[in-house]
Amino acid sequence: MTMRHSSRAKIGPPKTLPLTENPLARRYLLVALQIGITVALLAAWEIGARTGLVNRFLFASPSMVWDVLVKRSVSGELFEDIWTTSAETLTGYAVGAIGGSAIGLGLWYSRFLSDLSAPFIAAIGSIPVLAIAPMTIIWFGTGMMAKVMIVAFSCVVVSLTTSYKGAMRTDGDLINLMRSFGASRSAIFFKLVVPASMPWVISGLKLNVGFALVGAIVGEYISSQAGVGHMILLGSSNFSMNIVLAGVAVVMVMMLVFNFLVGLIEKSILSWERK
């Protein structure tokens, strides 16, 4: 008895949580620190460039990058480049990622066909996009089409394999249940396999956002008349680091926006997953 009393006394009243453990305070603290660090880095870079501690020829400065963004926004060049790259990325993504997902799911129908195609898919998947990009330009020219093809190529295998994996993981008991209702193979496919694979399909789509944008920019590096990759390439060939870095900043923002859009799609399709 006494033992129990003494051990209970030790627990005492709950203490207030330290700042890093209170969930809400922790979140605000993190965001504040992240913003603070960003501002401090940019300020240090700017000050360094102005005082000569940082080589402006090699590293430019935040204000120089900002000037490029403002000037090109006013002239409209920036939006033209963003539009070109976005159109290439989104079209190629639609063809590659969505087409790849459809093929991957469709392979569920035929075990034979999927086994037959497995080494070919693996072979295609092992080709770095950079290796075939020059050839694509020769085949499809220097315009939009070649970039769309490069983007589609960089997405298709990842989407195909993730969605095929998802389709094949459909619970056998659920398939039996559908069979017990006398469901045809296509009813099983559309009513069960496709929706059940959606988490996999979406994870493939998310992975591919990055691959798609890389594909578009690689295509523009090789040959282009417009686009953010084109802007970066021209900037670096003129040793204008401010233009290069402005392009990099634009790519970062584009990536955030594309990820956000795919996140919206995920939320609407997989709303049942959070229940």
Q: Which residues bind other proteins (CB under 8 A)?
A: 171, 173-174, 176-183, 187, 191-192, 195-196, 198, 272-273, 275
Which of residues 68 and 105 has its CB atom nearest to other proteins in the complex? 105
Closest residue by Cα to residue 102 from 162, 145, 49: 162
Q: Crossing angle of helices 62-75/241-269, nearest 10°?
A: 70
Which of residues 186 and 238 has its CB atom nearest to other proteins in the complex? 186
Which of residues 115 and 171 has its CB atom nearest to other proteins in the complex? 171
Which of residues 81 and 266 has its CB atom nearest to other proteins in the complex? 266
Rg of the chain over all Cα atoms, to the nearest angstrom: 26
Which of residues 75 and 184 has its CB atom nearest to other proteins in the complex? 184
CB of 181 to other proteins, least distance (A): 4
CB of 137 to other proteins, least distance (A): 43
Which of residues 178 and 245 has its CB atom nearest to other proteins in the complex? 178
d(CA 80, CA 203) in angstroms, rounded, equals 31
H or E stretch at 238: none
Q: Confirm if 197 and 163 have CB atoms less than 8 A apart.
A: yes
CB of 101 to other proteins, least distance (A): 17
The burial class, CB within 10 Å (0-12 / 13-18 / 19+), for 107 is: buried
Look up tokens 């021209």; give the residue.
234
CB of 193 to other proteins, least distance (A): 11
CB of 16 to other proteins, least distance (A): 35
d(CA 124, CA 157) in angstroms, rounded, equals 7
CB of 275 to other proteins, least distance (A): 4
- 194 token code pair: 């496709």
Please state the φ and ψ torsions of residue 186, each to the nearest 5 degrees: -75, -30
d(CA 2, CA 262) in angstroms, rounded, equals 61
